[in-house]
Structure formats: structure tokens, C-alpha cells
């Protein structure tokens, strides 16, 4: 695999230059002629019927160009799935959380728009609200959505059979409950959207997105215009982490204001709006009951999870499944029963987040450590006895093609010195291990595939068109690397056109960690097809069989006789003179089980590849303050094949920061009757440069049989296992298995004191 | 409120602007002068995305009134490169993979540039302290720290440092 020229190399990213010069344009940086400022009026109540809205005073304010309410909409409800369509973009009947959209304003400047918001008079009838999933399940008050009894939005039930029988056979059984609060994305870039209707009445939209094609469909539905009239445009994006995949009501409101005024409109969220009105992570209460044989192998598990879903469904069925799926991929289980309940509450909407399911995964691993302790097995051996192996089928019947889980464990253990340290460290000094697995793709029906186009220009350079979006993780560079490698060009010869619904074909987006595996794959195939055309022309010029040709450094040459060569530019010109342009397309559709459905049929091939990761963390806890000092984190992930180690390391390091340092030690939301009281960066504690430990990156390769060059998802298994590693290390340091996440100083101190009191 | 005409010296050039006294330096840069390199992320002086330099010192332009910047030499991310030639630090950020989504990058660069002007060979602890007011959500800071450490003095044993020409 080492004869690649560009793939597998530490290549600095092509998009970096514009970013270090301050030239990269994000949505809030855009300025269009005649552009108006848009603002959104939000509900101050967690649950309230909207009795009337009077916009007359706002409309009369000089400088106000348009005021829109639910009456101006087509009343379309949005939901990712046909059975989860529960959210209007502007509410007409009632508000379901503090921050729900009730009206929009476009004005000549921000000050006027804000004054107009205050002049909109909304009459509400306040309704009883629920803020806790268990309370919401039992409540006798008005349902949040009348079609969903007991406020249960989604129930996922998975049962492999034989669970009860296997519990009877078990040598040892434990049942433990773990809780975790909501966390937030805190993207560097607050959400912003610019919309306008062009002279041909096409809607143009610039906004952060996890996939432009995921935004165009709901907008097409809402405005009842064809898909080709919705142009989601390319724009630099300041992070996504799972929180920008879906349509945002602001996209629709901005477009509606643009339609009404005939002018471009920009809505820029405040930091608080970005926190409460985009998406958040789910709070979870998870009970794991696990039965093992005398060797510690899991033969039966029953897991019940209650998720605080907030006011609307969002990616509900997926969110309710993924924490379970990650753990069923990571570990073998003889049998399992899972009941996941996503419950509506009068809180902001919850979606997928990089660390989705920290309470769930940390619960599984904490319990494994408790069982191991009981059986006298060390944590590493406990994981190796239960770890996923290549060729296995998961409990929900996905075949695992490539898997180097054990190698990630062995290498992380060796690098961190785990075995020399575990059980031998001084008091309040601990080490812990976590392992996890992440999907490379979800079943996404007709939107699961990606198609790329490549055209050669007469100067021998190429334009690549792909729907893949870059949220910051380096997807654009990945596409350029692949195209340059396959076409025999240099990266600077590739011009990339991407993430634009007008010029690119449908693509699943960066959603579900699938950009390289699907979108990159499509570019690879398109480039191979294009190269075939070049070789046909070159073979005549070089009088050689196309099979003997190689393309590299802008030249095509005979493999065994490199002196016989011709510049690619010349080949393109010869082709054009023979009345043939050099271009090609290529598509890739992952072979998943199309009958698999999140709720109705959660069995079958989930995706074509899974990544596996291990994180080991060493910490010191201050017994007087409960503060945790992280000494070192070691991250090892099976990425299939490392297309660009430089970019990969950055993914690992960012994952340790968000998944472990923030996700397990400081990040959570606090509430007062449904009002988020720490929505800003001043109150919500994000990891800083001075907080971060030394990070050891270990890239493990398993060469996935289906992935492009053998590559699969890269980085997310670290984001997930980091939480587990951090949690295990703190538990090890204080000698108490903690069950409430994140592990803030107050909880750590309480655990230390309780242990002391017990003697 | 009356608008006042002031002169701001930005990246070595004087700019005359009419502003309200309550306008922040960040708003004036972004809205009046089309310099959108400095970003607003938190709007309350926590995240450092809006960092620019005044007389060589990093400041939060979201908490600085444009009026306060009169008479100062203001440097923004747009002023780091001379023409199209990147500064050593900018190139180091690229070569070390210190840029992901890029939203925090301009502020990060301005804090780091100010540090290196004062202390061209900072140790890791000094760098981490100097950048503690700039929040990055993507990188975990590791590659940023490396990029700053090698920003003025590329190191032979670093596989990402560009060989000196």
C-alpha cells in the first residue's frame, strides 16, 4: 500500500491558506447588496398556547420591511422521518420550549429589528410544563404533542432472544443505573444564515450545514418549490459535530423573509440562540443489567434507557439507537434486550452530538470494570475477553468486515504503561481504559449514495464536483488528495467544487461519519474512470497497452520503461483534437440492508464498516477540591487506512478535548424551570489550551475491504471512548465507581467523602 | 446619538470612519471596513475569536470601543501576511495542521503573534498560558501549540516543519 504518491502522506490542508489569512468567508461574513437584518421572536414560556399575535405595531415601525408569523407559512411540519414530522418552523398553535420560534422580522438594521421584536404582541395561555423525562412519562397534564401518548416520542426495542434464559445461566449478574446531563456543541461559529431569491425565483441559501442536500429537501417541501430551485451554496463552516445536519427553523424563516421583501436577508444567532435553538445532546438515564460467565464474558445484557428528547423529534429514532449500537459493535454479547425511550419534554431540541451517549457508554464500561473487580480480572483482560472480532456479526446482524479492536487495546496499553501503573499508583492517582466503536454510515435510503463528476480543462488541470461538505474536519482536502492521486496530478492542479446543491449530485453529507467512505469513494471511482480515458489516448501516443501505464506528477508513463512518457496536458489536448472531452462520473452507494429501519426493523447490515477505538487516561484528583488534573491521554483507533495522518491526529486530539476533557469533566447544562441557565461560554465550561494533557496518537490500520484505500471512519471512536477512559481513570483514582456524568468536582468530593464515611 | 468621524490606523494604513460612540472595534472592522477576519463567537470576551492587536498587545475587539482604538496601531489577521506572502507563523499553522474549521484561527494567530513578538522562544507552558483566552472546539490545541512553538524557529526533528530554503 506504500506506493501512493499523495494518499497516506502528511499533507497540509488545501483550505488552510484562506483561513490563516482571514479570507475564508463564513455565513455571518457575507454582505449582499440591499441585504436586510433578520431576527426571530421566541417564546418566553416552556409550554404555552398561542392565543393571538399582533404584529401591527412592529410593521408600522420605520425601517421594518417584513414581519412573518405562522400564518404566513404553508403549515408544513418537518421531521427527519415521515413518522416524526412534529415541528413547524414558526409555531401556530403552541410553543413547546423557551426559545420556540413564534415570529420573524426583517429590517434595515439590527437595532430596528430588535425593537420590532419587542413590538410584536403575543398573547399566550401558559400550560403546565415538564422538564424531566420520567416526570413527562407519568404526567397527567396536556401532552406536548397530542399524537404521542405518555410523551414518548420514540421507542426502540431490540431483542436477540434468549436473554432471560442466559441470565439464569449467568455466573454473576450486576444491575446499575447511570445518569448524564445534556451537553452542547458550542461550535466556534454561531449559527448564521443568508437567503435570497434570485431573478429566476430560485432560493439561494448560505448557512452552516452537515450536508447541503439535507437542507434543500425540507426547504423545497416548505415552499412547495422543486428541488432544483433550492440552491444551498458553498460556505466555510465553523464546526458541526452533529449539530448542523438538519434544517434549522432559521433557514426557513430567513428564506420566508427574503421572499416577502424581495431582498437578501441575514440572520445571525447570538451565542445563547446557538445553544438553545439549534440542537443539544440528550440527557440520559440508563440501566444496564449484565450477566457474565465465570471468565467474565457477557452472556446476557438488558439495557433500558430514558432520553430527554426536548420539544421535538429531530433525529429521534437515530439518537435513540446509536448509543446502543456503538456498544453492541464494540463488545460481543451472548444475548441482549434493549429498550430505548426518547421522551418529549419542554426543553430545547436534542440531536446527535460527537459524544452522543456518554452516560450510556460510560455505564457499560464502568459496569464491566465492576464485574472485572468482582471476578479478579484486570480491566484490559476484561475488554479483550469481550471485544469485537473481525468476521463477527453484531447482535443486530451487521457483518463486521474489518476490525482491529484488540490491536487498539494492546497498543494503547503498551504506550500508556497501563499494566505497570494499574493498581500500583499512589492514592488519588488513577488510570482507566475505555473502548468504543462507531458506524461508518447509517442506512439513509435514497440519500445514502454520492456521485462525483470530473472534467479536465485544456491546460491539463481538473475540476472535481462533489456534494461532500467540509465542516472543518478536512473533507475538502481528502477529496483533493484522492483526485490528485488517481489522476496523476498535483493537489494544486485540482479545483474542487463542492457542497453546493446546484452543481453537485446528492450526497449524504458529513452526517454519520461517511464522507470519506461514500463521498471520497465516489471521487475515487470518477477519477479512475477519467484516468481510463486518459490512458486510452496515451496508449496510442506511447504505443503501449493501457494496462502498462501509470499516471504521476502530471505525466503518464510506461510502468517498466518510465522514459516513455507524455504530459497529461498533452494527452488532454490530443483527446480534444480527436473530438473527445476528458471527463467522467463515479458514484458509490454503500450496500446496507435497505429493509433495516431504526424503529420497525432494527436488524440487518447497518453500514459497510465500523471503526474501533481505545482511550487510556491517567489522572490525579485533588482530594480537597475534587479537581482533576489529567496527566496524559493515549488514543488508538482502527481507521482502516490513514489517508492523511496529519489530519487524523487533529481529529484524535479534538476528540480527546470534546469527548473526554470537556465531555467528562466540565460540560453540562443547568436548568431553571426549562430555562437553560448556562447557555454562554462564560457559564458553560469548555476545555482551554492550558487544561489539555499530553496526547499520544496511535493510528491502527485494518485495511477495510470496502473502504477507499481501506479507509473508514476516523476520529469518532476516540471522541466516544475518551469519555469512558476519563471516567474510568477518575473512578480508579478515588476508588469509587462513579455513576453520574460529567464528573464535576462536587460529585467527586461527595464520592470521596461517602467512601471515607464508610471507612 | 451623533456619529463621529475618527481615524483608525489598521495594518499600517489610516482608515477614516464615521461611527457611533457605542460601536465596538469588532463591528467597525467587520461592518464598516469589510475586514471580516476577526470573528464574533461569544460576544462577551471569553472566546478570543475577535482578538486583534493594539500597539502589539492582543485585545478583544468585541469588548473594545472603536473610540478607544484611536491613535493606536491596530493589527488584524489581514495584516499578518505581506502581500501574498504568509508570515512564518501563518505558514507554521498550515504545515502543522493547526487549522480545522478555521473560525478561531484569526484570533488564535493574533494572540500567538503577539506572544512571539515579545518572546520568540516560548516554552510549552508559556504558549498554553498565552493562548488560554482563545477557545478552539476542533483541534484539542495540540497542533496549535506545536505550530506556535515552531512558528519562529522551525525544528529539524519535526516532520511537519518546512525545510528552510
Give the span between the Cα atoms of A245 and A731, in whole angstroms: 35
Three-state SS sequence of A541-594: HHCCCHHHEEEECCEEEECCEEEEEEEHHHHHHHHHHCCCCCEEEEEECCCCCC
Backbone angles phi, psi at A699, to 5 degrees: -95, 125
- In this structure, are A223 and A295 located in the same domain? no
Contact between B28 and A12 under an 8 Å Cβ cutoff? The reply is no
Contact between A63 and A108 under an 8 Å Cβ cutoff? The reply is yes
Give the span between the Cα atoms of B37 and B31, in whole angstroms: 11
Chain A, nearest residue to B159 by Cα: A10
pLDDT at A545 over 60: yes
Give the span between the Cα atoms of A611 and A512, in whole angstroms: 12
- In this structure, are A457 and A570 located in the same domain? yes
Using a CB-CB cut-off of 8 Å, the residues of chain B touching A110 are: none
Average pLDDT (A147-155) is: 97
pLDDT at B164 over 60: no
Query: Cβ-count burial of A716 within 10 angstroms (0-12 exposed, 13-18 middle, 19+ buried)?
Result: buried
C-alpha cell at A441: 454510515
pLDDT at A358 over 90: no
CATH code assigned at A680: 3.30.365.10
Whether residue B140 and residue A692 make contact (CB cut-off 8 A), yes or no, is yes
Residue A360 has a CB neighbour count (10 Å cut-off) of: 27
- In this structure, are A310 and A294 located in the same domain? yes
Q: State whether residue B142 sits within 8 Å of chain A by CB.
A: yes
Domain annotation covers residue A113? yes
Final residue in a domain of this structure, among A268, A303, A333: A268
C-alpha cell at A698: 496511535
CA A591 to chain CA mean position, Å = 21
C-alpha cell at A294: 465465570
C-alpha cell at A346: 419542554
Q: How confident is the model at residue A1 (pLDDT cuts 50, 70, 90)?
A: very low
Final residue in a domain of this structure, among A212, A236, A268: A268
Contact between A372 and A379 under an 8 Å Cβ cutoff? The reply is yes
Whether residue A680 and residue B44 make contact (CB cut-off 8 A), yes or no, is yes
Give the span between the Cα atoms of A631 and A614, in whole angstroms: 17
Using a CB-CB cut-off of 8 Å, the residues of chain B touching A649 are: 97, 142-143
How do residues A205-227 score in pLDDT, each as one tens digit?
999 999 999 999 999 999 999 99
Mean pLDDT of chain A, nearest integer = 97
C-alpha cell at A372: 472485572
For chain B, domains (ranges, CATH) are: 4-79 (3.10.20.30), 88-149 (1.10.150.120)
Identify which of A456, A449, A549 has the alpha carbon closest to the alpha carbon of residue A509. A449
User: What single-letter DSSP state applies at residue A28?
Assistant: G
Identify which of A752, A691, A681 has the alpha carbon closest to the alpha carbon of residue A726. A691
Residues whose CB is less than 8 angstroms from the CB of residue A92 and which lie 6 or more positions away in sequence, other chains included: A50, A69, A70, A71, A73, A75
- In this structure, are A499 and A560 located in the same domain? yes
Q: Which of A271, A473, A689 sits opposite B100 (nearest CB)?
A: A473
- In this structure, are A657 and A693 located in the same domain? yes
Residues whose CB is less than 8 angstroms from the CB of residue A448 and which lie 6 or more positions away in sequence, other chains included: A441, A508, A518, A589, A590, A592
- In this structure, are A96 and A224 located in the same domain? yes
Using a CB-CB cut-off of 8 Å, the residues of chain B touching A650 are: 97, 100, 138-140, 142-143
Domain annotation covers residue A168? no
- In this structure, are A608 and A738 located in the same domain? yes
**Measured between CA atoms, how close is B85 to chain A, in angstroms?**
10
Give the span between the Cα atoms of A550 and A544, in whole angstroms: 11
How do residues A693-729 score in pLDDT, each as one tens digit?
999 999 999 999 999 999 999 999 999 999 999 999 9
Buried b (16+ CB within 10 A) or exposed e, A66-75: bbbbbebbee
Q: How confident is the model at residue A735 (pLDDT cuts 50, 70, 90)?
A: very high
Final residue in a domain of this structure, among A238, A268, A298: A268
Q: What is the pLDDT of residue A505?
A: 95
Beta-ladder partners of A565: A557
pLDDT at A497 over 70: yes
Q: What is the pLDDT of residue A2?
A: 59
Whether residue B102 and residue A16 make contact (CB cut-off 8 A), yes or no, is yes
Domain annotation covers residue A8? no
Average pLDDT (B56-73) is: 98
Q: What is the pLDDT of residue A148?
A: 97
User: What single-letter DSSP state applies at residue A350?
Assistant: B
> pTM of the full predicted structure?
0.97
Whether residue B136 and residue A656 make contact (CB cut-off 8 A), yes or no, is no
Its domain, for residue A244, covers: 27-127+192-268
Query: Cβ-count burial of A147 within 10 angstroms (0-12 exposed, 13-18 middle, 19+ buried)?
Result: exposed
- In this structure, are A406 and A506 located in the same domain? no
Using a CB-CB cut-off of 8 Å, the residues of chain A touching B143 are: 649-650, 653
Average pLDDT (A513-529) is: 97
How do residues A73-90 score in pLDDT, each as one tens digit?
988 899 999 999 999 999
Q: Which of A689, A691, A722 has the most B C-beta neighbours within 10 Å, making it the best mutation to test the interface with B?
A: A689
- In this structure, are A401 and A309 located in the same domain? yes
Domain annotation covers residue A138? no
Q: What is the pLDDT of residue A290?
A: 98
Percent of chain A at pLDDT above 70?
100
Chain B, nearest residue to A11 by Cα: B95
Mean pLDDT of chain B, nearest integer = 96
Residue A118 has a CB neighbour count (10 Å cut-off) of: 11
Domain annotation covers residue A335? yes
Domain annotation covers residue A198? yes
Domain annotation covers residue A275? no
Give the span between the Cα atoms of A177 and A188, in whole angstroms: 34
Q: How confident is the model at residue A444 (pLDDT cuts 50, 70, 90)?
A: confident
pLDDT at A494 over 60: yes
Give the span between the Cα atoms of B29 and A212, in whole angstroms: 30
Identify which of A526, A372, A361, A353 has the alpha carbon closest to the alpha carbon of residue A449. A526
Going from the C-alpha of A181 to that of each of A282, A285, A744, the distances in angstroms are 7, 9, 11
User: A172-180 and A740-741 as β-strands: parallel, antiparallel, unpaired?
Assistant: parallel
Whether residue A189 and residue B39 make contact (CB cut-off 8 A), yes or no, is yes
The rounded radius of gyration (Å) of the Cα atoms in chain B is 16
In order, the DSSP letters of A173-240 are: EEEEEEEE-------SSPPEEEEEE-TTS-EEEE---S-HHHHHHHHHHHHT--GGGEEEPP-B----
- In this structure, are A431 and A449 located in the same domain? no
Domain annotation covers residue A180? no
Give the residue, B162 or A428, on which the prediction is more confident: A428
CATH code assigned at A122: 3.90.1170.50
Helix (H) or strand (E) holding A536: helix A521-542
Contact between A311 and A350 under an 8 Å Cβ cutoff? The reply is no
Q: How confident is the model at residue A355 (pLDDT cuts 50, 70, 90)?
A: low
Query: Cβ-count burial of B49 within 10 angstroms (0-12 exposed, 13-18 middle, 19+ buried)?
Result: buried
- In this structure, are A312 and A433 located in the same domain? yes
Give the span between the Cα atoms of B132 and B109, in whole angstroms: 13
Residue A149, preceding peptide bond in cis (omega within 30° of 0)? no
Give the span between the Cα atoms of A429 and A106, in whole angstroms: 57
- In this structure, are A334 and A354 located in the same domain? yes
**Measured between CA atoms, how close is B19 to chain A, in angstroms?**
15
Using a CB-CB cut-off of 8 Å, the residues of chain B touching A681 are: 41-42, 44, 46-47, 135
The rounded radius of gyration (Å) of the Cα atoms in chain A is 27
Average pLDDT (A229-244) is: 97
Backbone angles phi, psi at A244, to 5 degrees: -130, 25
pLDDT at A590 over 80: yes
Domain count, chain A: 3
Q: How confident is the model at residue A111 (pLDDT cuts 50, 70, 90)?
A: very high
Amino acid at each position: 500500500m506504500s506506493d501512493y504518491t499523495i494518499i497516506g502522506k502528511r499533507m497540509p490542508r488545501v483550505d488552510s491558506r484562506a483561513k490563516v489569512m482571514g479570507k475564508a468567508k463564513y455565513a455571518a461574513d457575507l454582505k449582499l447588496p440591499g441585504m436586510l437584518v433578520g431576527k426571530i421572536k421566541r417564546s418566553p414560556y416552556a409550554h404555552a398556547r398561542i392565543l393571538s399575535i399582533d404584529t401591527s405595531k412592529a410593521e408600522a415601525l420605520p425601517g421594518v420591511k417584513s414581519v412573518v408569523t405562522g400564518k404566513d407559512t404553508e403549515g408544513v411540519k418537518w421531521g427527519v422521518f415521515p413518522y416524526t414530522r412534529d415541528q413547524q418552523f414558526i409555531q401556530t398553535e403552541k410553543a413547546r420550549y423557551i426559545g420556540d420560534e413564534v415570529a420573524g422580522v426583517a429590517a434595515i438594521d439590527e437595532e430596528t429589528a430588535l425593537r420590532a421584536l419587542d413590538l410584536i404582541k403575543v398573547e399566550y395561555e401558559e400550560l403546565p410544563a415538564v422538564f424531566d423525562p420520567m416526570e413527562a412519562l407519568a404526567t397527567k397534564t396536556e401532552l406536548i404533542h397530542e399524537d404521542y401518548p405518555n410523551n414518548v416520542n420514540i421507542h426502540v426495542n431490540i431483542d436477540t432472544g434468549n436473554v432471560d434464559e442466559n441470565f439464569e445461566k449467568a455466573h454473576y449478574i450486576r444491575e446499575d443505573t447511570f445518569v448524564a446531563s445534556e451537553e452542547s456543541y458550542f461550535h466556534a461559529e454561531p449559527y448564521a444564515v443568508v437567503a435570497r431569491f434570485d431573478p429566476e425565483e430560485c432560493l439561494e441559501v448560505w448557512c452552516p450545514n452537515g450536508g447541503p442536500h439535507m437542507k434543500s429537501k425540507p426547504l423545497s417541501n416548505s415552499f412547495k418549490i422543486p428541488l432544483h430551485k433550492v440552491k444551498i451554496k458553498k460556505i466555510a463552516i465553523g464546526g458541526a459535530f452533529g449539530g448542523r445536519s438538519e434544517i434549522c427553523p432559521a433557514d426557513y424563516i430567513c428564506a420566508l423573509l427574503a421572499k416577502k421583501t424581495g431582498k437578501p436577508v441575514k440572520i445571525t444567532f447570538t451565542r445563547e440562540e446557538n445553544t438553545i435553538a439549534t440542537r443539544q445532546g440528550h440527557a440520559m438515564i440508563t440501566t444496564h443489567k449484565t450477566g457474565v460467565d465465570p471468565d467474565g464474558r457477557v452472556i446476557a445484557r438488558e439495557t433500558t434507557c430514558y432520553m430527554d428528547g426536548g420539544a421535538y423529534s429531530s433525529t429521534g429514532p437515530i439518537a435513540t439507537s446509536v448509543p446502543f449500537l456503538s456498544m453492541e459493535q464494540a463488545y460481543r454479547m451472548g444475548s441482549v434486550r434493549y429498550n430505548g425511550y426518547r421522551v418529549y419534554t419542554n426543553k430545547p431540541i436534542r440531536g446527535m452530538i460527537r459524544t452522543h451517549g456518554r452516560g450510556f457508554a460510560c455505564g457499560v464500561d464502568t459496569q464491566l470494570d465492576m464485574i472485572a473487580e468482582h471476578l479478579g480480572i484486570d480491566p484490559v483482560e476484561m475488554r479483550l475477553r469481550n471485544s469485537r472480532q473481525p468476521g463477527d456479526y453484531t447482535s443486530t446482524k451487521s457483518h463486521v468486515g474489518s476490525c482491529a479492536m484488540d490491536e487498539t487495546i494492546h497498543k494503547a496499553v503498551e504506550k500508556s504503561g497501563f499494566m505497570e501503573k494499574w493498581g500500583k499508583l499512589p492514592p488519588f492517582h488513577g488510570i482507566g481504559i475505555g473502548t468504543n466503536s462507531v458506524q461508518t454510515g447509517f442506512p439513509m435510503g435514497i440519500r445514502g449514495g454520492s456521485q462525483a463528476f470530473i472534467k479536465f480543462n485544456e491546460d491539463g488541470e481538473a475540476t472535481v464536483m462533489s456534494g461532500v461538505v467540509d465542516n472543518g474536519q478536512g473533507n475538502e482536502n481528502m477529496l483533493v488528495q484522492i483526485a490528485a492521486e488517481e489522476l496523476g496530478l498535483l493537489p494544486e492542479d485540482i479545483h474542487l467544487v463542492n457542497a453546493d446543491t446546484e452543481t453537485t449530485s446528492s450526497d449524504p453529507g458529513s452526517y454519520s461519519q461517511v464522507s470519506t467512505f461514500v463521498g471520497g469513494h465516489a471521487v475515487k471511482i470518477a477519477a479512475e474512470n477519467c484516468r481510463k480515458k486518459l490512458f486510452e489516448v496515451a496508449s496510442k501516443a506511447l504505443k503501449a497497452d493501457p494496462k502498462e501505464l501509470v499516471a504521476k506528477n502530471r505525466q503518464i508513463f510506461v510502468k517498466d520503461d518510465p522514459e516513455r512518457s507524455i504530459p497529461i496536458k498533452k494527452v488532454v489536448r490530443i483527446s480534444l483534437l480527436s473530438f473527445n472531452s476528458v471527463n467522467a462520473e463515479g458514484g458509490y452507494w454503500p450496500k446496507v440492508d435497505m429493509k433495516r429501519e431504526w424503529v420497525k426493523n432494527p436488524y440487518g447490515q447497518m453500514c459497510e464498516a465500523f471503526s474501533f477505538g481505545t482511550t487510556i487516561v491517567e489522572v490525579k484528583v485533588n482530594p480537597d477540591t475534587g479537581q482533576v488534573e489529567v496527566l496524559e491521554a493515549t488514543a488508538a483507533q482502527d481507521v482502516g487506512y490513514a489517508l492523511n495522518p496529519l489530519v487524523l491526529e487533529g481529529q484524535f486530539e479534538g476528540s480527546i478535548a470534546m469527548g473526554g476533557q470537556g465531555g467528562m469533566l466540565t460540560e453540562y447544562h443547568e436548568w431553571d424551570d426549562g430555562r437553560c441557565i448556562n447557555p454562554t461560554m462564560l457559564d458553560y465550561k469548555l476545555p482551554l489550551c492550558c487544561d489539555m494533557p499530553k496526547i499520544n496518537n496511535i493510528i491502527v490500520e485494518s485495511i477495510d475491504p470496502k473502504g477507499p484505500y481501506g479507509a473508514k471512519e476516523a476520529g469518532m471512536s476516540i471522541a466516544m471512548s475518551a469519555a469512558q477512559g476519563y471516567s474510568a481513570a477518575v473512578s480508579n483514582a478515588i476508588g469509587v465507581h462513579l455513576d453520574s456524568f460529567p464528573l464535576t468536582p462536587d460529585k467527586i468530593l461527595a464520592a470521596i467523602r461517602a467512601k471515607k464515611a464508610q471507612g | 446619538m451623533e456619529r463621529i468621524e475618527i481615524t483608525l490606523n489598521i495594518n499600517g494604513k489610516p482608515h477614516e470612519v464615521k461611527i457611533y460612540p457605542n460601536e465596538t472595534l469588532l463591528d467597525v472592522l467587520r461592518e464598516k471596513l469589510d475586514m471580516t477576519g476577526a470573528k464574533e463567537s461569544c460576544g462577551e470576551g471569553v472566546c478570543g475569536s475577535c482578538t486583534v492587536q493594539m500597539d502589539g498587545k492582543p485585545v478583544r475587539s468585541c469588548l473594545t470601543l472603536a473610540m478607544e482604538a484611536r491613535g493606536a496601531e491596530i493589527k488584524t489577521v489581514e495584516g499578518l501576511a505581506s502581500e501574498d506572502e504568509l508570515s512564518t507563523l501563518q505558514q507554521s499553522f498550515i504545515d502543522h495542521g493547526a487549522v480545522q474549521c478555521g473560525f478561531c484561527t484569526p484570533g488564535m494567530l493574533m494572540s500567538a503573534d503577539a506572544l512571539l513578538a515579545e518572546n520568540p522562544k516560548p516554552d510549552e507552558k508559556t504558549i498554553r498560558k498565552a493562548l488560554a483566552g482563545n477557545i478552539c472546539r476542533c483541534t484539542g490545541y495540540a497542533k496549535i501549540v506545536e505550530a506556535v512553538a515552531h512558528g519562529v524557529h522551525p525544528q529539524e526533528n519535526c516532520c511537519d516543519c518546512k525545510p528552510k530554503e
